Amino acid sequence: MPLFWRIFLLNAVILIVATALLLGPVTVSTPVLLTEAGILLSGLAVMLIANGVLLRIGLAPLQRLTWAMTTTDLLRPGRRPAASGHSEVAELIRTFNAMLDRLEAERATSAARALSAQEAERHRIAQELHDEVGQTLTAVLLELKRVAVQAPPVVREELHQVQETTRTSLDEIRRIARRLRPGVLEELGLTSALKALTDEFGSSALDVRHRIDGDLPHLDKDTELVLYRVAQESLTNAARHSGAHRVELALTRTPEGIELCVRDDGHGLGDAAEGAGIRGMRERALLIGADLTLGPGAERGTDVRLAVPTHHRSP
């Protein structure tokens, strides 16, 4: 029976019984006697309690649905509210769950297209940096070297300084190009790419170490790229924002698949809102059916974990 009719009939039954009693054996004196007031107040209390119990039972599924509506995050797929309650409420919950499924599928499709376009744009920019800007700076270096040979000693020293500045700029451009397009990932595989990534981030102020299992299962290109980008973003956040002195990158095999863990000893996430980098990691994780979790480390700092099932189903 619909909720409306259950509430209506309950109130109707109580009012009919009260009216029958007032017309029959129950009368009200003027002034009202204490016993009569007690009977009327008891009847009112019974009616209010009955309505309260019915509304509590009938609206409980709607309260769970409201909580699900306010806490749902398409980047963090979770459990759906159970389609409990009577027909109208259960149908509403099933409709909401179907809407969530459709929204998550549409978001996954649009995110896949956006990330694919992003990778293509990164590839193009890296190629232009390498082929155009890099070659131009190389030609400038050669020209500076030629001019320095013929220049007076005083000018020659200044030209050497310009050469060093140009060489530093060329190295920086090559480093940016490698980050935009991980050529080592395409040529040598994920293990070599992650080792090169940790070496690149390691410095005198930041100790970056890696631990990679040797018996990793075969992974497709999309999964390897997601693992690499998540590791890259995690190391970037640790180097720029965490104030860490030590970072450990681990890629291990698990019974379900593989797990990437990047742990630092910085000051942690705190109450800061998630930025575009973390949202990008979550979107990439959804593309390969992986589970991304960020939280405090065992002692301090931040743990970033990406659990990838071996046999996943891409959205």
User: What percent of the chain shows pLDDT beyond 90?
Assistant: 6
- Could you tell me the end-to-end alpha-carbon distance of the chain, in angstroms, rounded to an integer? 39
Q: Is the pLDDT of residue 28 over 80?
A: no
pLDDT at 132: 81
- Tokens matching residue 288: 């390969």
Q: How sure is the predictor about 29, in pLDDT bands with cuts at 50, 70 and 90?
A: low
pLDDT at 261: 93
pLDDT at 313: 44
pLDDT at 157: 83
Say which range, 61-70, 72-81, 181-190, 288-297, has the weakest mean pLDDT.
72-81
pLDDT at 66: 80
Q: Average pLDDT, whole number, for the chain? A: 79
CB atoms within 10 A of CB 258: 21
Q: How sure is the predictor about 284, in pLDDT bands with cuts at 50, 70 and 90?
A: confident
Give me the residue spans of the domains in the chain: 3-104, 183-315
pLDDT at 27: 63
pLDDT at 25: 65
Q: Which CATH superfamily is domain 183-315 in?
A: Histidine kinase-like ATPase, C-terminal domain (3.30.565.10)
Separation between Cα atoms, residue 24 and residue 217, nearest integer Å: 84
pLDDT at 250: 92
Contacts of 257 (CB under 8 A, 6+ apart): 217, 307, 308, 309, 310, 311, 312
Per DSSP, 132 falls in state I
Say which range, 68-82, 94-108, 210-224, has the weakest mean pLDDT.
68-82
Average pLDDT over residues 97-113: 79
Per residue in 222-280, pLDDT (tens digit) is 888 889 989 988 888 888 877 888 899 999 998 888 999 998 888 877 666 677 788 88
Entry pTM: 0.63
266 — phi, psi (to 5°)?
A: -80, -160
- Whether the CB-CB separation of 255 and 215 falls below 8 Å is answered with no
Which residue type, as a one-letter code, is found at position 54? L
pLDDT at 86: 67
Separation between Cα atoms, residue 90 and residue 97, nearest integer Å: 11
Q: Is the pLDDT of residue 315 over 60?
A: no
- Whether the CB-CB separation of 222 and 288 falls below 8 Å is answered with yes
- Whether the CB-CB separation of 288 and 312 falls below 8 Å is answered with yes
Per DSSP, 299 falls in state S
Q: How sure is the predictor about 314, in pLDDT bands with cuts at 50, 70 and 90?
A: very low
Which residue type, as a one-letter code, is found at position 227? L
Q: Is the pLDDT of residue 312 over 50?
A: no
Which residue type, as a one-letter code, is found at position 47? M
Separation between Cα atoms, residue 302 and residue 248, nearest integer Å: 11
Say which range, 12-21, 166-175, 183-192, 255-264, has the weakest mean pLDDT.
12-21
pLDDT at 4: 64
